[in-house]
Structure 1
Amino acid sequence: MLRSLSVRVLIALVAGLGLGAAAAAYGGDGLRGLIEGVESIGTLWLNGLRMTVVPLLFSVLVVGIASVADAAATGRLAVRALAWFLGFLLIGCAWSILFSNGLYAVWPVSEAGAAALTAGAPPPPAEVQATPSFGEFVKALAPTNPVKAAAEDSILPLVVFAGFFAFAVTRLAEPRRRALTEFFDSISAAMVEIVRWVLWAAPVGVFALCLGVGLRAGVGAAGIIGHYIAAVVLAQVGIILVALSAAVVIGRVPLGQWLRALGPVQVTAFATQSSIACLPAMIEQSRDQLRVPDRITGLVLPLAVSVFKLTSPVANLGVAIFVAQVYGIEPTAVQYLGAVIIALAVSVASVGLPGQVSFFMSTGPICLVLGLPLDLLPILIAVEVIPDIFRTVGNVTGDMAVTAILARGEEPDPAVDSDAEPALG
């Protein structure tokens, strides 16, 4: 059993979380410093995954579009994918509002705890107020310098450029189109090979990362903060179950096959808290375990990582509703409608990196639309590490679920091993 990489990674994950939490409870400053030093090894491992992301993302998107000579057919696939993304996101918004308010109706926030939390809240950072306008967001979609966008991990503008580039390739004569497609396909294959080398060291990397996760989580999960964590995590678990069920019921993927394909991806998501870092694993598992054709994985998964964050509106709305409960404010239906629009916009604009990076910019505008103070956000970000794990697990689950749904009834690529799982449908 220990020969399985997934088993070794799971053991490393549990051991890292346990030791980190024990150090948080009983360790001194010296032990904490040691764990922070060990965590740097995990960061090195994570960077090994991240260094493949931009070239892999660009190459698989170009190949996924350019390999189909009929640009209209590719456009139809992209439109279908976007329609599924929007449908899942709207379901997530409705679920978060209904579930969160229902949960607080049966498990209300303690008045004493709310008073203590608001009394100790520091003022929010000034940049929370400086949210970009819709016009600025639209202007930023097309990168003035694609190389700079790639260097700065500006994924959405990079995907826009890759999409235009790939559609332009489909308009070239067959020899040129084939040459460019083979070139980027070779880049994709080389990146996947590097990913396999990095994943060989996954148990060490996951253990080192989870030491830090356990250390920080063990400090903050108590009292009303624990109430907050439970509410946001449960809301995300609900939408994750929706995505799991959709792949089985709508995508017609056998449950065992689906869980085998999804398991390694979710473990990587748990460890890295980055859906972008999970892209190589999602592509490999979709191709090898689910036998999704390359023309679908090459288009849908990069597109999903760029614009489809299944748990983003669920978690961000959940944060805002918790703040409303703490202050005893009841937003109106119109305010909730505005909050849903903002939640959808920030979910598209955010990149698949750890949620702490964009926590204020994602939740601040939603709170403002609902008429809520922002003072609690600096406190809540201290324990964002736990909800962020479920954000990433949910995001990759949604990405693969939509991919499986779109692959229903499609014939697998002949290059897939004959001993792989049977085709979808």
Structure 2
Amino acid sequence: MVADPPKTEPKGFTEPAANDGQALGPREDQVVTSGGSCGSWNQVRRCLRANLLVLLTVVAVAIGVVLGLGVSRAGALSPQFWTVFNFPGELLLRLLKMIILPLVVCSLISGAASLDPSALGRLGAWALLFFLVTTLLASALGVGLALTLQPGAAFAAINSSFEGVTGSGEEIPSKEVLDSFLDLARNIFPSNLVSATFRSYSTSYQLIEINGTLPNGKEIEGMNILGLVVFSIIFGGVLRKLGPEGELLIHFFNSFNDATMVLVSWIMWYAPVGILFLVASQIAKMQDVGKFFISLGKYILCCLLGHAIHGILVLPLIYFLFTRKNPYRFLWGIMAPLATAFGTSSSSATLPLMMKCVEEKNGVAKHISRFILPIGATVNMDGAALFQCVATVFIAQLNGRSLNFVDIIIILIMATASSVGAAGIPAGGILTLAIILEAISLPVREISLILAVDWLVDRSCTILNVEGDAFGAGLLQSYVDRTKIQSMEPKLVQFKSEVPPNPLPAAIEEGNPLLKQYQGPPRDAATCEKESVM
């Protein structure tokens, strides 16, 4: 059993006074009570500063919509104008593409290397299994909802009616399912890691006039994300397996990952400018803006509905099946962390309050919550996986791309794998969405439409992420309690079996006049019987 960590003073409290030994109240409360309205204004300023990026993004989206509508009514404009007008948004997309490769490799290697099976033990293995299963269920739910509701189908039909694409007379057969699976395996095991950073393998069919069609496998443009993901996870596990010899490389990739996340934070501060012009250019080029907003609204509804189903039905059902306890009473005990997750949009920022609530209100032991919850904040991203699957199918529908079975498998694998070592920061899921789009050759430029409403969807993702962490801690607490009970049963059986070597004589039957006890010398027990007076 792991010992409880030492108790420390809560953050934000002053040291006890030297004279009376009583601790003073919170510093923030002192400012509020003594300053009056000044304290309230300081709270507003702190809130605005904490949510400044979200506010800038919302303002940028609103300005982009107005600017796009104004440009669309300006008539024909020169190509030079469109080049300059699209440049800030193009710069944002280039920055996102630039950060994909180091983000994938470094985050997955450092994440896989941090998961030491010998240190995690059976408890950590059960936690990782729970997180993996729930993430897969969330991804499958997201794909299913997007394919059922089809949020981008109506807008894609409008675009296709205006494009007027004509066929080429002879149709080349589409790729077979077997070829798709073989290409999937080839991309999982790339022949060259360097070429995998900008090329992937794909089988196509060529039309031969005499002999018909023949499969033609070749390298095509586009990053082989799937191969890099598999290699990074295996390489991280190997580094952990090396022990002290691999620590140097693990520290290197951890530092590389930290530096990459600093670059990501800088890029996100430029994001409102890029989003403004991306949204404006998209609105200006649309034939039917109303249909587009309907499609975007259906996309938001699809994400929120999926989060609600997974958070209110799926996770509580799993908790009930394994613990036979009321999951909604457990959910009521973590309402404060869920509200904090909605406000901060960061699972990492919610971690301290979540630990306190699951320990004090839901009866989770400290050594369990403080061991599992940090792991869940790193590897458990149910909400992000669901949102990424919905967004990928939505973008595919916007572009008129039909997804086959292999594409769906790749989406599920990528959404689940990208949660390993994913950053628990606001808008972190957008970066992994770009990775999934690259994996199935969808245009990354459409990510601007997702960025426009990510400030709302990302908060719902964070709520589901931290809820999954809490339910995982509750399940492990039930598992530990059940294991303790089972381990005590053999001790009880052993205690009962330890009887004295000379047992007490059997009790004499009394009160029956038909029986009398034998009085005389001892005889053989086999022939000794009670005599009847009859």
Shorter-chain TM-score: which interval? 0.5 to 0.7
Instruction: Indicate the residue corresponding to 1:39 in structure 2.
Output: 48
Unaligned segments of structure 2, at least 5 residues: 1-43, 54-114, 164-197, 199-221, 238-248, 263-271, 284-291, 483-534
Report the number of matched residues: 282
Distance in 1 (alpha carbons) for counterparts of 2:428 and 2:399: 25
Contact 1:251 1:407 (8 Å CA) reproduced? no
Alignment map for 1:255-270 (pairs within 5 Å): 255=327, 257-270=329-342
Match of 2:366 among 294, 302, 305: 294
Would you say 1:393 and 2:489 are equivalent positions?
Answer: no
Distance in 2 (alpha carbons) for counterparts of 1:146 and 1:108: 42
Instruction: Indicate the residue corresponding to 1:94 in structure 2.
Output: 140
Match of 2:409 among 337, 343, 346: 337
Distance in 1 (alpha carbons) for counterparts of 2:339 and 2:251: 37
Alignment map for 1:16-95 (pairs within 5 Å): 39-40=48-49, 74-95=120-141
Alignment map for 1:341-356 (pairs within 5 Å): 341-354=413-426, 356=427
Distance in 1 (alpha carbons) for counterparts of 2:45 and 2:449: 22
Cα displacement (A) at 1:247: 2.7
Would you say 1:109 and 2:154 are equivalent positions?
Answer: yes
Alignment map for 1:5-404 (pairs within 5 Å): 39-40=48-49, 74-104=120-150, 108-111=153-156, 133-134=228-229, 135-136=231-232, 143-144=250-251, 148=255, 222-241=293-312, 242-255=314-327, 257-354=329-426, 356-359=427-430, 361-404=431-474
Distance in 2 (alpha carbons) for counterparts of 1:346 and 1:139: 15
Distance in 2 (alpha carbons) for counterparts of 1:381 and 1:41: 19
Q: Deviations over 1:332-363 (max 9, x none)?
A: 10121122111112121311111x2451x311
Task: Please tell me the root mean square deviation across aligned C-alpha atoms, in Å.
Answer: 4.1
Q: Deviations over 1:222-255 (max 9, x none)?
A: 4332222112222222222211332344333434
Contact 1:308 1:395 (8 Å CA) reproduced? yes
Distance in 1 (alpha carbons) for counterparts of 2:149 and 2:421: 29
Contact 2:434 2:444 (8 Å CA) reproduced? yes
Give % identity: 21
Q: Which has the larger radius of gyration?
A: 2
Write the letter of the residue equivalent to 2:406. V
Distance in 1 (alpha carbons) for counterparts of 2:162 and 2:301: 17
Cα displacement (A) at 1:84: 0.9
Q: Deviations over 1:297-329 (max 9, x none)?
A: 122111111111112221101101001111221
* Higher RCO structure (Cα 8 Å, ≥6 apart): 1
Distance in 1 (alpha carbons) for counterparts of 2:380 and 2:354: 14
TM score, norm. by length of structure 2: 0.46
Contact 1:114 1:224 (8 Å CA) reproduced? no
Distance in 1 (alpha carbons) for counterparts of 2:346 and 2:234: 25
Instruction: Indicate the residue corresponding to 1:172 in structure 2.
Output: none
Distance in 2 (alpha carbons) for counterparts of 1:224 and 1:258: 36
Q: Deviations over 1:146-170 (max 9, x none)?
A: 9957975979xxxxxxxxxxxxxxx
My pick for the range that moved more, 224-233 or 286-295, is 224-233
Instruction: Indicate the residue corresponding to 1:4 in structure 2.
Output: none
Write the letter of the residue equivalent to 1:84. F
Write the letter of the residue equivalent to 2:400. G
* Structure 2 residue matching 1:97: 3-state secondary structure: helix
Distance in 1 (alpha carbons) for counterparts of 2:330 and 2:260: 31
* Structure 2 residue matching 1:311: 3-state secondary structure: helix
* Structure 2 residue matching 1:335: 3-state secondary structure: helix
* Structure 2 residue matching 1:375: 3-state secondary structure: helix
Write the letter of the residue equivalent to 1:326. L
Write the letter of the residue equivalent to 1:40. R
The verdict on how the C-alpha distance between 1:328 and 1:111 changes in structure 2, with shifts beyond 3 A counting, is: closer
The verdict on how the C-alpha distance between 1:112 and 1:100 changes in structure 2, with shifts beyond 3 A counting, is: closer
Instruction: Indicate the residue corresponding to 2:39 in structure 1.
Output: none
Q: Deviations over 1:246-295 (max 9, x none)?
A: 23443334345313312011100000000011111111111111111122
* Structure 2 residue matching 1:329: 3-state secondary structure: coil
The verdict on how the C-alpha distance between 1:43 and 1:377 changes in structure 2, with shifts beyond 3 A counting, is: closer
Q: Which has the higher strand share?
A: 2
